[in-house]
Each structure stands twice: as C-alpha cells, then as structure tokens.
Amino acid sequence: MKIAIVSATSTIGQAAARKWAANFSIQKQSELQFVLLGRNQTALETVAADLLVRAPKAQVQVMSLDMLDRQSVEAAVNGLGQLDVALICQGELTDQVSAQADSAVLANSVMVNVLSPTLFAEAIARKFEAQGKGKLAIIGSVAGDRGRKSNYAYGASKAYLAAYAQGLVHRFASTKVSVLLIKPGPTASRMTLSLPNPPAKLAAPELVAEQIVKSIDSGKRGVLYTPTIWFAIMLIVRLLPSFIFNKINL
Amino acid sequence: MSNLQSWGRLPVQKQQLVLAGSAAEELVGQGKASILPRGLGRSYGDVCLNPGGKLLSSAALDNFISFDPQTGLLTAQAGVSLGEIQRTFAPQGFMLPVTPGTQFVSLAGAIANDVHGKNHHSMGTFGDHVTSLTLVRSDSSMLECSQETNFDLFRATIGGLGLTGFITQATIRLQPVQSPWLETENIPFKNVAEFLMLSDESESDFKYSVSWVNCASPANGRGIFMRGNHAGPQFKKNSTTILRSEPGAGKLTVPFDLAFSLVNKASVTAFNLGYYYANAATAGKHVSHYQPYFYPLDAVTKWNRIYGNKGFYQYQSVVPRTGGEDVLQEMLDKIRASGQGSFLSVLKTMGDLPPAGLMSFSRPGITLALDFANHGSKTLRLLDALDEIVLAAGGAVNPSKDARMSREMFEASFSNIAEFNKYRDPAISSAMSRRLLGS
Ligand SMILES: Cc1cc2nc3c(=O)[nH]c(=O)nc-3n(C[C@H](O)[C@H](O)[C@H](O)COP(=O)(O)OP(=O)(O)OC[C@H]3O[C@@H](n4cnc5c(N)ncnc54)[C@H](O)[C@@H]3O)c2cc1C
C-alpha cells in the first residue's frame, strides 16, 4: 500500500502515519510505502526517521516543495507514480482578530488553507481518475459548518474545501475512487498533552487518527466527523435559526 | 499562565508553559526568570513545578530517532513516553529494561528522576541503561554526555531532577524479550518478617518482585508478595494459571474534579481489606500481559482525582536492610496510630547495584511508598514523624516524589549535594530546588 501524506509534519498527518505504521505487522510491513510531503525537509526527515523505527521494514520517502506553487505541486504529484491513498492535511488555524486587522494574514490564510489543498486535491483526483482507483481524504474542520464571528476566516476556507470535496465525491460516485472530507472537532495540540489533566473537550490526536485511518481504509465516501459526537453537535449548530445564533457568543 | 499541577494535585501558583523546539533554544538567554524542564507531569510532588516561573515542555519532542536491533540501542527525543516505547517495541521483541508503575512518563522525566521499578534488585535504575544523552544549557551549549564524554555532567543529569539543563534526546538500551507476557505469582504474607523472607528467597530467581502492604488496621503489616519473570516464547497455559490480559488502555476514568476527597478512613480500611482478600483469593500462579502487570493503575486514568481538590502526598523512603524490619514496623505502627491509612502502600527491597546518578535516590535497602490524602497540618505532622524514623535509621526520602520534607532531611539523605551544585544550570530552578537546595 502506497500512502502519500501532504503536510506529514502536522499533528494529525503524523498521527495518521503512525497509526498506519502500527497497523502493519512486521511480516506485512514491506508492503507499506510512505511518501511524506511538506515544506520543511528537516522536519519531514524527523517524521520519516520516527516512522522507520516504528515500521523498520516499510519504505519511507520525503519530498519537500513549495506547497503554494501550482507547478511544483503538479510535478510532485505526477512524480508519485502509482498511489493507493492520499491524505491532505495542511492548514493553519488563522487568528481571526489578526485576519480582520491585517490583510497579509488574511491572504496567507487563503493561500495555505484554500489554494494549497485545492491544488493537491485536483492533481491527485486526476491521478486517481487515470488509475481508475484510489482513496483521497482531505482534512476539513467543524469550523466550516457555519461561519462564526470568532473564526470565520479559518472556517470559510474549510467550508470551501467541504464543497470542493462534495463535488469530487459526486464526480467519482460510480467509480472505485473514494473521496472523504474529514471534520475533526477541536483536537489536542502537543502543548495540551503535557497537562496532567488535559481539558476533556479536546480529542486526542491518536483517537482522531485512528478513526481517520479506519474510515479511509474502508473506502468511506462523503464526510467523517471525528470524534463522532461532533456530528450531533454541528447538526444543532447548523440548524439554529439565525435570530438565535446571532445572539450567541461562539 | 495555566493551572499546571503535579500528579499529587496539591494547590500551586500559576506557571507559564513553553513548548521546547528540537534544540531547546527557549532555554538560552533566560536571564533571571526561572525556567524548569517539564515532561508529562507525572511526578507526585513539586520537582516538576515552578510556581511563578516557566516550564519548558518536551511535549512536542515525541519522535523516535533510531533503533538498532543488534544492540537494542534506541535513540529518541525527550518527550517520547515510556508507553509508546513499550507498545512499539514489544512486537519487535524488545522492552524497557526498567519501568516505573505508570507508562505515562517521558523518557527525559524517567532519566531526571532516575526512576526504578519492580526489578531494582536485578536491573538497577532507569539511568543504569542510558548510554548517552544530549543536554542543552542556558549558556547555549549543546553537549553530548555519556560514560566517555562529559561524564561528570552525565552522572549529574541522571537523577539530576531537571536542574542541570534540558535533555533533548537520549539513547537507552532496551532488553530483548521473547513475549509480552509475564509468569507471575502472588503470595500472601502476614508481617514484615515474612515479607523479608520471601524477598530473600525470590531475588535470585525472579526478575521482578514487589509487595502491597496493608497499613490500616486491622491486620496492619500483612500483604501480598508479587513476583514474576518474563514468559518464554510459548508459555504454557494450564488449568491452574489465571490469564490477565491486556485491558483496553485507559477505558476507566475519573471524569470530573471532586471538591472533596473520596479517600477517608472508612474507604481506606475497606480498600485495604478488599485488596488483600481479592488477591489472597487469587494467590498462586498467573500469566499476565505486561500492561496490567507493570501498570495496574493506568487502567483508571486520572485516578488522582479521587483525592479531591486538596490533592495528596506520596511518601517514599528507603531504609537499610539491617534493622529494617523493626524500622518498617515502627513506621506502619505510626501510620496506623495516626488513623491516616494509605490506599496503596508498596514495599520492595532494593538491590546493591551502585547508583547511576550523583543524586540517585535508590540505594540498597527496603523501600516503602505511601499515598496520603492531604488533610493539612495533621498529614504534615505524620510525615515529619515518619522522617524522624527514617533519619534515625540512616535512610532517605525520595525528593522526586516529595513536596514537604525539610532541608535537614534532604541533606541527611544525600551526601553529594555540594558536588551536584557545580553542575546545575543557573537559569533552572524548581519549587523543589528552591525549597531544598536554597535556589
Ligand atoms: C501512577 C504512578 C506510578 C509511579 N511509579 C513509579 C515507580 O514505580 N518508580 C519510580 O521511580 N517512580 C514512579 N512514579 C513517578 C514517575 O515515574 C516520575 O515522577 C517520573 O519522573 C515522571 O516523569 P514525567 O515525564 O512525568 O516528568 P515530570 O514529572 O514532568 O518531571 C520530572 C522531572 O524530570 C525533569 N525533566 C522532565 N523533562 C526533562 C528534560 N527534557 N530535560 C531535563 N529534565 C527533564 C523535570 O524538571 C522534573 O525534575 C510513578 C508515578 C505515578 C503517577
């Protein structure tokens, strides 16, 4: 199985890679191939070394590139050869207050959270179409389900990805290509892990990664809320009438 | 600023958490403000606390770097947890040579407190298996420390309570194992003398041994001796073995903070009775997965919450073997008389391997570890009384679990303090170092 992880240095991307590594027994590891893509070569090499300790018989390749440049992205994806799984993880949590005050922050948010994942998604879709099969997953967010004053710069970019993925799901509906948009709820960062009693509301990246890997492997299409409870929470948030919603501080 | 506590959850002032990058540059140019390396915060006392100052967390340094199956040498970043090491390597035929009673501990935290486990008599401490470490200091030096290079700093850092610099990565020798299972045996004992007899008879043939001892009345001093060895590749399960398999890790939890403590005289007495009978009833041979065997408490995450928001103290002492029987009995009597029984009282002999670190707590003798709910001055008085017994016996109290001992007790416990102070990093201090080392 050959897996490409775009932004493999992100918390969720790395947690998913580790989960795949753990799922393959020593005997089967030689069938496992990772390609780790990202901006920072040194950081990618750290992730690769870690994976090789966990799965010594697997193959791990790293590829650093300019993730905002459409030609670099296309060349990188073309260079991947036959591929079974692609997981697109890049994105950064835009600070809403800064985005309102500083257009540079806003522009950067759109490039990192919209432009880059879109370029990867479309290039990989083209590859999977040619192969006639493949599993594509994109990390969105529950923040994309409804624009809120506290984080709409970030949320809107995730809403864009949701609609894009929806279109891809439709396009590949009767093929062997599965497309999945993943909407994690607030997930613990590495920072919160050092608290002896971390806030119960934050999901552990390992748990989120486990659900992601399981859903991708099973060929799930459409949308995955993880942890699952966020499906119910966001259903309510989406259905709240505006006259109520607009009065709540969210 | 956040409400970071240690595992004992004693009330503490706010501290700022800073995440260390791979070169821990955050330590450099600290100036006068105090900073302290922080692992997973599983220390009971104030060794991992820096009220009013900064904590430099290794949480983002959670990568393995390399592993050589020929030598068993694993190099990993400081924040990798011991549980992650066990889970990754048990299927590859290796495990940690020494592990404390919880796996939610970081590699560097285990080195800084030079932790020990149920196999101290056969394998020594965690530090005995560390072959090198990388230390970043506030003068911006980054030093490779081992038996061969910077040995003085190496020895001061093992068991150095985080005070000599920030460990960014370390190399440790894992032990080859044939399976993740252990063959274990539980034997009830009636008193300290029987415990010592069992220890003597078991130490050469059993790699692991530990005992739980009752320190509430009735039947104070009685307990369960638990010994074990790694199982061979195809251990035989027969009708007399009881299989304790891997639990779903962390499936049980104490999900909320309690304003009061569930730990009181009645519950401690009931627990001690129940624990004895539950284990006495299953006395005999077992085959146990390493998870429930090494980490019985990890099955209930956040169990420290049962002590409520006043927290609790852990008290670990070691006293010399000669005369140890009477000393232990005196301590158990004192605890029973105080009416402040301990839930989990752990008794173990320590072997005579020379300590790996300049400030290592472990030394030959008998060690007793106790948990006491914090009832304010009443509890502190009991602990002071225990100190006196330990002091008179020429023993020591473990600073890495402590939050209250006197400087006098600390100085009586360690003979290398002046030497150790030479290797301290001037930018680093902790609540503990200010309390016991004066800065
Ligand atoms: C349920 C339970 C059972 C336990 N059983 C045992 C046992 O059997 N035997 C035993 O010995 N201990 C035991 N302990 C104690 C525990 O193993 C130690 O306190 C351990 O050191 C905690 O590691 P940590 O990663 O949580 O570090 P922390 O508690 O965060 O820090 C511990 C010390 O390490 C230092 N440190 C952390 N990271 C670094 C770094 N990168 N560089 C330099 N210094 C650093 C800190 O400054 C501090 O001095 C137990 C604890 C619990 C909660």
> Does residue B143 sit in the same domain as residue B227?
no
Contact B63 A50 (CB under 8 A): yes
Q: Domain boundary residue among B177, B204, B236? A: B177
Cα of B35 to nearest chain A Cα, Å: 16
> Does residue B164 sit in the same domain as residue B87?
yes
Tell me the mean pLDDT in the region B222-250: 71
> Does residue B172 sit in the same domain as residue B186?
no
Q: What angle, 0 to 180 degrees and rounded to 10, lies between the N-to-C axes of helices A152-171 and A116-131?
A: 10
B116: tokens are 């020990």
> Does residue B267 sit in the same domain as residue B138?
no
Q: Is residue B5 part of a domain?
A: no
Residue A220 CA to residue B390 CA, distance in Å, equals: 63
The predicted pLDDT at position B190 comes to 92
> Does residue B68 sit in the same domain as residue B190?
no
- The residue with tokens 């006098």 is B408
**Domain range for B170:** 64-177
CA of residue B325 to ligand 1 center, whole Å: 29
> Does residue B171 sit in the same domain as residue B258?
no
> Does residue B162 sit in the same domain as residue B193?
no
**Long-range contacts of the stretch B373-378 (C-beta < 8 A, 24+):** B373/B261, B373/B263, B373/B264, B373/B307, B373/B308, B373/B310, B373/B312, B373/B340, B374/B10, B374/B307, B374/B310, B374/B311, B374/B312, B374/B313, B375/B310, B375/B340, B376/B310, B378/B338, B378/B340
> Does residue B311 sit in the same domain as residue B241?
yes
Quote the ipTM score.
0.88
Residue A191 touches chain B, beta carbons under 8 Å: yes
Q: Domain boundary residue among B148, B177, B206? A: B177
Instruction: Tell me how far CA of residue A214 lies from CA of A16, A51, A80, A211, in angstroms.
Output: 10, 19, 23, 5
B47 CB burial (10 A radius; 0-12, 13-18, 19+): buried
Q: By CA distance, what is A26's nearest residue in B? A: B92
Confidence label for A97 from pLDDT (cuts 50, 70 and 90):
very high
Residue A135 CA to residue A23 CA, distance in Å, equals: 17
Q: Domain boundary residue among B128, B149, B177? A: B177
Q: Which amino acid belongs to residue B165?
A: G
Cα of B316 to nearest chain A Cα, Å: 21
Q: Is the CB of B78 under 6 A from ligand 1?
A: yes
**CB-CB contact of B34 with B53 (8 Å):** yes
Residue A167 predicted with pLDDT over 50: yes
Q: Which amino acid belongs to residue B52?
A: G
Q: Is residue B256 part of a domain?
A: yes
B58: tokens are 């290794």
The predicted pLDDT at position B239 comes to 47
Residue A194 predicted with pLDDT over 80: no
pTM score, whole prediction:
0.92
Residue A135 CA to residue A83 CA, distance in Å, equals: 9
Q: Is the CB of B167 under 6 A from ligand 1?
A: yes
Q: Is residue B32 part of a domain?
A: no
A99: tokens are 């985005």
Tell me the mean pLDDT in the region B311-325: 95
Residue A86 bridge partners (DSSP): A4, A136
Q: Is the CB of B37 under 6 A from ligand 1?
A: yes
> Does residue B386 sit in the same domain as residue B323?
yes
**CB-CB contact of B368 with B232 (8 Å):** no
The predicted pLDDT at position A243 comes to 82
Q: Is the CB of B252 under 6 A from ligand 1?
A: no
**CB-CB contact of B108 with B164 (8 Å):** no
**Long-range contacts of the stretch A144-148 (C-beta < 8 A, 24+):** A144/A183, A145/A183, A145/A234, A145/A237, A145/A238, A146/A234, A146/A237, A146/A238, A146/A245, A148/A250
Strand B35-38 and strand B54-57: the pairing is parallel
Q: Is residue B54 part of a domain?
A: no
> Does residue B223 sit in the same domain as residue B267?
yes
- Which are the contacts of B31, defined by CB distance < 8 A and separation ≥ 6? B427
Tell me the mean pLDDT in the region B395-418: 97
Contact B66 A25 (CB under 8 A): no
**Least confident range of A70-79, B30-39, B238-247, B423-432:** B238-247
Q: Which amino acid belongs to residue B421?
A: N
Tell me the mean pLDDT in the region B79-97: 96
Residue A198 predicted with pLDDT over 60: no
CA of residue B74 to ligand 1 center, whole Å: 19
**CB-CB contact of B48 with B104 (8 Å):** no
Kindly state the percentage of chain B with pLDDT values over 70: 92
Confidence label for A202 from pLDDT (cuts 50, 70 and 90):
confident
> Does residue B369 sit in the same domain as residue B262?
yes
3-state secondary structure of B10: coil
CATH classification of the domain holding B242: 3.30.70.2520
Looking at 3.40.50.970, 3.40.50.720, 3.50.30.10, 3.40.1440.60, the CATH number of the domain A2-245 comes to 3.40.50.720
Half-sphere exposure of A226 (CA within 13 A, CB side): 25
Residue B6 touches chain A, beta carbons under 8 Å: yes
Number of domains in chain B: 2
Tell me the mean pLDDT in the region B91-99: 96
Confidence label for B23 from pLDDT (cuts 50, 70 and 90):
confident
A92: tokens are 């950064």
Q: Is residue B160 part of a domain?
A: yes
Quote the DSSP letter at residue A209.
H
**CB-CB contact of B172 with B73 (8 Å):** yes
Q: What is the pLDDT of residues B31-45, one digit of tens each?
A: 778 999 999 999 999
> Does residue B306 sit in the same domain as residue B254?
yes
Mean pLDDT score of chain A: 92
